[in-house]
A and B are shown apart, each in its own frame.
With several copies, the nearest count.
Chain A
Amino acid sequence: MVNTTLDVTWAIDWLRKSAAVVAEHRMALIELDRAIGDGDHGENLDRGFSAILEKLDAEAPATPGTAFKLAAMTLMSKVGGAAGPLYGTAYLRAATAVGDAVELDAATLVAALTAARDGVVARGKAEAGEKTMIDAWTPAVDAATAAADSGAAPAEVLAAAATAAEVGAVATEPLIARKGRASYLGERAIGHRDPGAESSALILRAAAQAAGVEA
């Protein structure tokens, strides 16, 4: 039976699975960032998500919104660099979007993902196609919206988002960067995947898995 809503258990599991996948891909993200940035993206996110795990061990958020807020504050204060404020803003906007809701339905989930993406855009002022995490988030939001519109359950919405984000991340490879550190490289960035787009795809896949979707 497919759940029609996701609750705080899912939200916490998402964060835990994100921490696991970020830890697992730490070196891979570092490698991506080494090629067109400064080689810290995997380290930064791993530091942030490890801190989230510690927080989650100490306090149990009551709603998805509180879980997102906890993630936002922790990432904001532990990650630094470009990714910290951007991911921090994403979770903060998601928290605002879901409010006090205890159960999130597909429409609320889409609203949360959209708010997260819009938050990143507002903070980072990047547009689609500038070789940033936006290039994972925007297709993810579009796919999630389409899935929800066609009546998909939350897990399917997240699966669609994750898959689109993965495709989006791969699609950053031929791009020239216009924002972030990779932008200084000009044409030398071509052929390399954007680390932030890759980590976004990993985190969205974790969301789907937490909702019960197989890898």
Chain B
Amino acid sequence: MKKLINDPRTVVDEAVAGFGQAHAAHVKVNADPLFVTRKDAPREGKVGLVSGGGSGHEPLHAGYVGYGMLDAAVPGAMFTSPTPDAIIPATIAANAGAGVVHIVKNYTGDVLNFETAAEMAEAEGVSVRTVLVNDDVAVEDSLYTAGRRGVAGTVLIEKIAGAAAERGDDLDAVAAIGNRVNNNVRSMGVALSACTVPHAGVPSFELADDEIEIGIGIHGEPGRHRIPMESADGITARLLGPVLNDLAPIAGDKVLLFVNGMGGTPASELYIVYRAAAKLLEDAGLVVERSLVGNYITALEMQGCSISVLLLDDEMTELWDAPVNTPALRWGM
């Protein structure tokens, strides 16, 4: 394992410290317990948005702390959800009296830890609503599993719910728009290579030289199945098929197309996939109204990507376009 680190045990602390210094104009870092807040949190009268989860998905979540998106982010250990003792103070720091929305990816660990934290924050007088993200269609038969996983849709939910909070929506409204985005977004991913978690020191799985893993998650966990390597156009069709099947859009629908890099894939490849996906969407009669292409929710240095499609309505588009000013997503200001 070759990594630009000093010690597997201090990776997250040092990375978040560096992040805080580099983005001191946007954020404040609380070192112990570890969480990141907007520099100006809490914002008078505004519903607070808090997310968090295992580290290794950068820029998620701390990169989205700032105007128009998150008020606080709670980074856990690598690929491990954070604990209530960090989520609780982050929630309190984000609360300006209007309550806090937790955006939680649907993994047992995240759900349990955020659940506990929400209960305890409520006990301290903070109203908490939870938006559970479960956009990953790779998980088949989710009735018999812990449910679908939350993946790239998280970024879209944080942006759109963040804009709703920023414009002054109340607690239930912010949670409602978050849930609406979740209900209208589906994602699926592919890995060309595994990633190596620093504390493990070995790749999270083995892939042969000509194999790829379809339906990969963002934790280096295995996916749906393994197939021989094929063309970008072929892979795009394999990812987009289940997404559209599940989303069941109708011709004329407006969509946001999000091609997300897993961390180790060059931008040029992501744009090749974007091109193929946009073509398939257009062939299906859909209108690609908005786009996002890049490394926005990663799995360390994994090679691969995910494709997400969000069915837009006018309000979501307006909230998507609203100004945002965070270390990793910024426009309009």
Contacts and interface: CB of A to CB of B under 8 A. Distances in A.
A and B in contact, CB less than 8 Å: yes
Contacts of A37: 221
B184 interface: no
Contacts of B84: 76-77, 85
A85 B113 contact: yes
Counting chain A residues whose Cβ lies within 8 A of the other chain, the interface size class is 20 to 34
A55 interface: no
A183 interface: yes
A151 interface: no
Given A38-B220, A84-B83, A76 B149 contact: no
Contact of A44 (B33, B77, B220): B77
A177 B220 CA distance: 18
Interface residues of B, number: 39
A183 B145 contact: yes
Interface stretch (B39-47, B199-207, B319-327): B199-207
A38 B112 contact: no
Interface string B102-115: 00000111001101
B282 to A, nearest CB: 31
Contacts of B222: 36, 185, 188
Given A39-B200, A183-B145, A34 B205 contact: yes
Contacts of B139: 184
Contacts of A78: 83
Contacts, number: 118
B51 to A, nearest CB: 15
B83 A43 contact: no
Given A38-B204, A79-B83, A84 B109 contact: yes
B109 A39 contact: no
Contact of A80 (B82, B138, B144, B217): B82
A101 B222 CA distance: 46
A43 B85 contact: no
B146 A181 contact: yes
Interface in A73-100: 76-86
Given A40-B80, A184-B139, A76 B146 contact: no
A76 B81 CA distance: 11
19 contacts: A34-B202, A40-B80, A40-B197, A43-B199, A78-B83, A81-B113, A82-B109, A82-B112, A85-B115, A85-B116, A123-B112, A124-B108, A179-B108, A179-B146, A180-B146, A181-B108, A181-B221, A184-B139, A185-B222
